[in-house]
Amino acid sequence: MQALGRQILVEYYNCDPDIINDVSQIESILLEATRKSNASIISHNFHKFSPHGVSGTVVIAESHVAIHTWPEYGYAAVDIFTCGETIDPWIIQEHIKDCFRSGNVSSMEMKRGMFKVEEGQELLFKPKDAPAFANSY
Amino acid sequence: MQALGRQILVEYYNCDPDIINDVSQIESILLEATRKSNASIISHNFHKFSPHGVSGTVVIAESHVAIHTWPEYGYAAVDIFTCGETIDPWIIQEHIKDCFRSGNVSSMEMKRGMFKVEEGQELLFKPKDAPAFANSY
Protein backbone atom coordinates (compact mmCIF):
# COMPACT_ATOMS: atom_id res chain seq x y z
CA MET A 1 0.00 0.00 0.00
CA GLN A 2 1.17 3.50 -0.81
CA ALA A 3 -0.34 6.85 0.09
CA LEU A 4 -0.89 9.82 -2.20
CA GLY A 5 -0.64 12.34 0.60
CA ARG A 6 0.29 12.88 4.20
CA GLN A 7 -1.37 15.22 6.64
CA ILE A 8 -0.29 16.55 9.99
CA LEU A 9 -3.04 17.76 12.32
CA VAL A 10 -1.48 20.06 14.89
CA GLU A 11 -2.92 21.40 18.14
CA TYR A 12 -0.92 24.41 19.36
CA TYR A 13 -1.88 25.13 22.96
CA ASN A 14 -0.53 27.88 25.25
CA CYS A 15 0.33 30.18 22.37
CA ASP A 16 1.05 33.90 22.67
CA PRO A 17 -2.50 35.30 22.36
CA ASP A 18 -1.35 38.56 20.78
CA ILE A 19 0.47 36.75 17.99
CA ILE A 20 -2.37 34.36 17.19
CA ASN A 21 -4.84 37.24 17.09
CA ASP A 22 -2.77 39.21 14.58
CA VAL A 23 -3.83 38.35 11.03
CA SER A 24 -0.81 39.94 9.34
CA GLN A 25 1.66 38.16 11.63
CA ILE A 26 -0.11 34.84 11.08
CA GLU A 27 -0.04 35.33 7.32
CA SER A 28 3.71 36.12 7.39
CA ILE A 29 4.45 33.15 9.64
CA LEU A 30 2.51 30.65 7.51
CA LEU A 31 3.95 31.92 4.22
CA GLU A 32 7.48 31.86 5.64
CA ALA A 33 6.90 28.33 7.00
CA THR A 34 5.64 27.01 3.65
CA ARG A 35 8.57 28.62 1.80
CA LYS A 36 11.05 27.05 4.22
CA SER A 37 9.53 23.63 3.48
CA ASN A 38 10.12 24.09 -0.27
CA ALA A 39 6.39 24.34 -1.05
CA SER A 40 5.16 26.24 -4.11
CA ILE A 41 2.57 28.76 -2.93
CA ILE A 42 -0.41 29.12 -5.28
CA SER A 43 -2.84 31.29 -3.29
CA HIS A 44 -3.51 32.39 0.27
CA ASN A 45 -6.44 33.91 2.15
CA PHE A 46 -6.55 35.12 5.72
CA HIS A 47 -9.51 36.55 7.62
CA LYS A 48 -9.79 38.24 10.98
CA PHE A 49 -12.88 37.66 13.06
CA SER A 50 -14.57 40.07 15.42
CA PRO A 51 -13.96 40.20 18.35
CA HIS A 52 -11.03 37.78 18.00
CA GLY A 53 -9.63 34.87 16.05
CA VAL A 54 -8.13 34.33 12.62
CA SER A 55 -8.82 31.77 9.89
CA GLY A 56 -6.69 31.23 6.82
CA THR A 57 -5.61 28.85 4.11
CA VAL A 58 -2.53 28.59 1.93
CA VAL A 59 -3.02 26.48 -1.19
CA ILE A 60 0.31 25.04 -2.31
CA ALA A 61 1.14 22.92 -5.38
CA GLU A 62 1.72 20.11 -2.87
CA SER A 63 -1.79 20.55 -1.25
CA HIS A 64 -2.54 23.04 1.58
CA VAL A 65 -2.00 24.53 5.01
CA ALA A 66 -5.03 25.74 7.01
CA ILE A 67 -5.25 27.56 10.34
CA HIS A 68 -7.92 28.60 12.84
CA THR A 69 -7.02 30.44 16.01
CA TRP A 70 -8.84 31.04 19.30
CA PRO A 71 -6.65 33.66 21.02
CA GLU A 72 -9.02 33.68 24.00
CA TYR A 73 -7.90 30.10 24.69
CA GLY A 74 -4.30 30.51 23.48
CA TYR A 75 -5.09 27.80 20.93
CA ALA A 76 -4.46 27.36 17.21
CA ALA A 77 -5.51 24.40 15.03
CA VAL A 78 -3.31 23.84 11.99
CA ASP A 79 -3.58 21.26 9.19
CA ILE A 80 -0.61 20.60 6.96
CA PHE A 81 -1.55 18.45 3.96
CA THR A 82 1.26 17.58 1.54
CA CYS A 83 2.00 15.20 -1.30
CA GLY A 84 5.21 14.28 -3.04
CA GLU A 85 8.72 13.80 -1.76
CA THR A 86 10.03 17.32 -2.28
CA ILE A 87 8.38 18.87 0.77
CA ASP A 88 8.84 18.24 4.48
CA PRO A 89 5.63 19.16 6.39
CA TRP A 90 7.43 18.97 9.73
CA ILE A 91 9.44 22.08 8.82
CA ILE A 92 6.13 23.95 8.66
CA GLN A 93 4.96 22.48 11.97
CA GLU A 94 8.21 23.47 13.73
CA HIS A 95 8.37 26.99 12.33
CA ILE A 96 4.80 27.76 13.42
CA LYS A 97 5.44 26.32 16.89
CA ASP A 98 8.44 28.60 17.40
CA CYS A 99 6.68 31.70 16.08
CA PHE A 100 3.50 31.16 18.12
CA ARG A 101 5.62 30.44 21.24
CA SER A 102 3.39 27.45 21.85
CA GLY A 103 4.05 25.81 25.21
CA ASN A 104 2.21 22.59 24.39
CA VAL A 105 1.99 21.02 20.94
CA SER A 106 0.21 17.84 19.94
CA SER A 107 0.64 16.50 16.39
CA MET A 108 -0.80 13.56 14.55
CA GLU A 109 0.34 12.39 11.10
CA MET A 110 -2.14 10.64 8.84
CA LYS A 111 -1.79 8.98 5.44
CA ARG A 112 -4.33 10.08 2.82
CA GLY A 113 -5.35 8.23 -0.34
CA MET A 114 -4.13 4.67 0.18
CA PHE A 115 -3.67 2.49 -2.91
CA LYS A 116 -2.29 -0.95 -3.55
CA VAL A 117 0.50 -0.80 -6.13
CA GLU A 118 2.41 -3.54 -7.87
CA GLU A 119 5.92 -4.25 -6.64
CA GLY A 120 8.44 -1.86 -8.15
CA GLN A 121 5.76 0.63 -9.15
CA GLU A 122 5.07 3.99 -7.57
CA LEU A 123 2.08 6.28 -7.18
CA LEU A 124 2.54 9.47 -9.16
CA PHE A 125 2.10 12.69 -7.25
CA LYS A 126 0.74 15.84 -8.83
CA PRO A 127 3.85 17.94 -8.11
CA LYS A 128 6.07 15.41 -9.86
CA ASP A 129 3.85 15.59 -12.96
CA ALA A 130 3.36 19.31 -12.90
CA PRO A 131 5.62 21.27 -10.58
CA ALA A 132 3.98 24.68 -10.71
CA PHE A 133 1.56 24.84 -13.61
CA ALA A 134 -1.57 25.39 -11.60
CA ASN A 135 -4.12 27.75 -13.00
CA SER A 136 -6.18 29.91 -10.73
CA TYR A 137 -9.84 29.70 -11.45
CA MET B 1 -13.49 17.99 28.39
CA GLN B 2 -15.06 19.95 25.55
CA ALA B 3 -13.82 20.52 22.00
CA LEU B 4 -13.73 23.81 20.11
CA GLY B 5 -14.02 22.14 16.73
CA ARG B 6 -14.78 18.95 14.91
CA GLN B 7 -13.18 17.76 11.71
CA ILE B 8 -14.17 15.07 9.26
CA LEU B 9 -11.41 13.66 7.07
CA VAL B 10 -13.02 12.00 4.07
CA GLU B 11 -11.51 9.66 1.49
CA TYR B 12 -13.72 9.47 -1.61
CA TYR B 13 -12.60 6.51 -3.72
CA ASN B 14 -14.06 5.30 -7.03
CA CYS B 15 -15.34 8.74 -8.01
CA ASP B 16 -16.40 9.80 -11.49
CA PRO B 17 -13.02 10.96 -12.90
CA ASP B 18 -14.60 13.54 -15.22
CA ILE B 19 -16.41 15.25 -12.36
CA ILE B 20 -13.41 15.37 -10.03
CA ASN B 21 -11.25 16.78 -12.82
CA ASP B 22 -13.66 19.64 -13.52
CA VAL B 23 -12.76 22.68 -11.45
CA SER B 24 -16.02 24.53 -12.05
CA GLN B 25 -18.16 21.50 -11.13
CA ILE B 26 -16.10 20.95 -7.98
CA GLU B 27 -16.46 24.58 -6.99
CA SER B 28 -20.25 24.44 -7.48
CA ILE B 29 -20.55 21.18 -5.56
CA LEU B 30 -18.52 22.39 -2.57
CA LEU B 31 -20.29 25.75 -2.39
CA GLU B 32 -23.69 24.07 -2.64
CA ALA B 33 -22.68 21.55 0.06
CA THR B 34 -21.52 24.26 2.46
CA ARG B 35 -24.71 26.28 1.88
CA LYS B 36 -26.85 23.20 2.57
CA SER B 37 -25.07 22.75 5.91
CA ASN B 38 -25.93 26.32 6.96
CA ALA B 39 -22.33 27.50 6.78
CA SER B 40 -21.49 31.16 6.12
CA ILE B 41 -19.08 31.28 3.19
CA ILE B 42 -16.32 33.88 3.55
CA SER B 43 -13.99 33.10 0.63
CA HIS B 44 -13.20 30.32 -1.80
CA ASN B 45 -10.33 29.45 -4.12
CA PHE B 46 -10.09 26.63 -6.60
CA HIS B 47 -7.17 25.71 -8.85
CA LYS B 48 -6.83 23.27 -11.72
CA PHE B 49 -3.56 21.45 -12.18
CA SER B 50 -1.99 20.35 -15.41
CA PRO B 51 -2.41 17.64 -16.63
CA HIS B 52 -5.09 16.78 -14.07
CA GLY B 53 -6.33 17.34 -10.55
CA VAL B 54 -7.99 20.13 -8.63
CA SER B 55 -7.24 21.75 -5.28
CA GLY B 56 -9.49 24.16 -3.46
CA THR B 57 -10.51 25.65 -0.16
CA VAL B 58 -13.69 27.25 1.13
CA VAL B 59 -13.20 29.37 4.23
CA ILE B 60 -16.44 29.53 6.22
CA ALA B 61 -17.25 31.47 9.41
CA GLU B 62 -17.37 28.04 11.07
CA SER B 63 -13.84 27.08 9.83
CA HIS B 64 -13.14 25.49 6.38
CA VAL B 65 -13.60 22.83 3.73
CA ALA B 66 -10.59 21.74 1.64
CA ILE B 67 -10.32 19.39 -1.33
CA HIS B 68 -7.61 17.74 -3.42
CA THR B 69 -8.48 15.43 -6.28
CA TRP B 70 -6.52 12.83 -8.22
CA PRO B 71 -8.84 11.99 -11.15
CA GLU B 72 -6.28 9.49 -12.48
CA TYR B 73 -6.98 7.40 -9.37
CA GLY B 74 -10.69 8.29 -9.03
CA TYR B 75 -9.81 9.72 -5.62
CA ALA B 76 -10.64 12.91 -3.73
CA ALA B 77 -9.44 13.91 -0.25
CA VAL B 78 -11.78 16.27 1.59
CA ASP B 79 -11.43 17.91 5.01
CA ILE B 80 -14.46 19.42 6.69
CA PHE B 81 -13.51 21.46 9.75
CA THR B 82 -16.38 23.08 11.67
CA CYS B 83 -17.07 24.73 14.99
CA GLY B 84 -20.28 25.65 16.73
CA GLU B 85 -23.62 23.94 16.92
CA THR B 86 -25.31 25.62 13.97
CA ILE B 87 -23.62 23.57 11.26
CA ASP B 88 -23.77 19.86 10.44
CA PRO B 89 -20.55 18.78 8.65
CA TRP B 90 -22.10 15.44 7.65
CA ILE B 91 -24.47 17.26 5.29
CA ILE B 92 -21.37 18.43 3.40
CA GLN B 93 -19.85 14.95 3.40
CA GLU B 94 -23.06 13.38 2.04
CA HIS B 95 -23.65 15.99 -0.66
CA ILE B 96 -20.12 15.63 -2.02
CA LYS B 97 -20.37 11.82 -1.99
CA ASP B 98 -23.54 11.91 -4.09
CA CYS B 99 -22.20 14.47 -6.56
CA PHE B 100 -18.86 12.72 -7.06
CA ARG B 101 -20.68 9.36 -7.43
CA SER B 102 -18.13 7.89 -5.08
CA GLY B 103 -18.39 4.10 -4.82
CA ASN B 104 -16.30 3.84 -1.66
CA VAL B 105 -16.14 6.44 1.09
CA SER B 106 -14.13 6.34 4.29
CA SER B 107 -14.66 9.06 6.92
CA MET B 108 -13.06 9.80 10.25
CA GLU B 109 -14.30 12.40 12.71
CA MET B 110 -11.82 14.08 15.04
CA LYS B 111 -12.23 16.55 17.88
CA ARG B 112 -10.00 19.63 17.72
CA GLY B 113 -9.00 21.95 20.57
CA MET B 114 -9.84 20.01 23.72
CA PHE B 115 -10.28 21.97 26.94
CA LYS B 116 -11.37 21.13 30.45
CA VAL B 117 -14.31 23.27 31.50
CA GLU B 118 -16.05 23.66 34.83
CA GLU B 119 -19.39 21.93 35.25
CA GLY B 120 -22.23 23.96 33.81
CA GLN B 121 -19.86 26.09 31.71
CA GLU B 122 -19.41 25.97 27.96
CA LEU B 123 -16.64 26.76 25.51
CA LEU B 124 -17.55 29.75 23.38
CA PHE B 125 -17.32 29.24 19.66
CA LYS B 126 -16.40 32.01 17.28
CA PRO B 127 -19.64 31.87 15.25
CA LYS B 128 -21.72 32.26 18.41
CA ASP B 129 -19.73 35.39 19.31
CA ALA B 130 -19.65 36.82 15.84
CA PRO B 131 -21.89 35.17 13.28
CA ALA B 132 -20.64 36.71 10.09
CA PHE B 133 -18.46 39.70 10.87
CA ALA B 134 -15.28 38.39 9.40
CA ASN B 135 -13.07 40.84 7.57
CA SER B 136 -11.08 39.75 4.58
CA TYR B 137 -7.45 40.67 4.87
Q: In total, how many domains does chain B have?
A: 1
pLDDT at A126: 53
B113-133 CB burial, b ≥16 within 10 A, e <16: beeeeeeeeebebbbeeeeee
- B82 is in which domain, residue-wise? 2-115
pLDDT at B85: 86
Does some domain include residue A51?
yes
Does some domain include residue A126?
no
Of residues A38 and B135, more confidence is placed in A38
Confidence tier at B125 by pLDDT (50, 70, 90): low
Let me know if B52 is a catalytic residue: no
Does some domain include residue A50?
yes
Closest-approach residue (CA) in chain A for B70: A126
Does some domain include residue A133?
no
Residues A5, A112 contacting (CB under 8 angstroms): yes
Could you say which of A9, A73, A112 has the minimum Cβ distance to residue B110? A9
Of residues B125 and A110, more confidence is placed in A110
Q: Residue A96's closest CA among A9, A3, A2?
A: A9
Q: Pick the catalytic residue: B15, B37, B64, B83?
A: B83
Task: Work out the angle between the directed axes of helices B89-100 and B23-36 (0-180°, nearest 10).
Answer: 150
Does some domain include residue A131?
no
Does some domain include residue A35?
yes
137 residues of chain A, pLDDT tens digit each: 899 999 999 999 999 999 999 999 999 999 999 999 999 999 999 999 988 999 999 999 999 999 999 999 999 999 999 998 899 999 999 999 999 999 999 999 999 999 998 888 877 765 444 443 444 44
Let me know if A99 is a catalytic residue: no
Does some domain include residue A27?
yes
Q: Pick the catalytic residue: B63, B64, B95, B99?
A: B63
Closest-approach residue (CA) in chain A for B43: A45
User: CA A121 to CA A136: how far, in whole Å?
Assistant: 32
Task: Report CB contact under 8 Å: A57, B48.
Answer: no
pLDDT at A125: 63
Residues in a beta bridge with A108: A9
Q: Which tens digits make up the pLDDT trace of B50-67?
A: 889 999 999 999 999 999
- Test mutation, B64, B78, B87, B108, chain A, max A CBs within 10 A: B64
CATH number for A42: 3.60.90.10
What was the ipTM of the complex prediction? 0.90
pLDDT at A122: 79
Residue B102, pLDDT above cutoff 70 = yes
Q: Residue B51's closest CA among A39, A42, A129, A83?
A: A129
Does some domain include residue A58?
yes
Closest-approach residue (CA) in chain B for A66: B64
- Test mutation, B1, B2, B30, B49, chain A, max A CBs within 10 A: B49
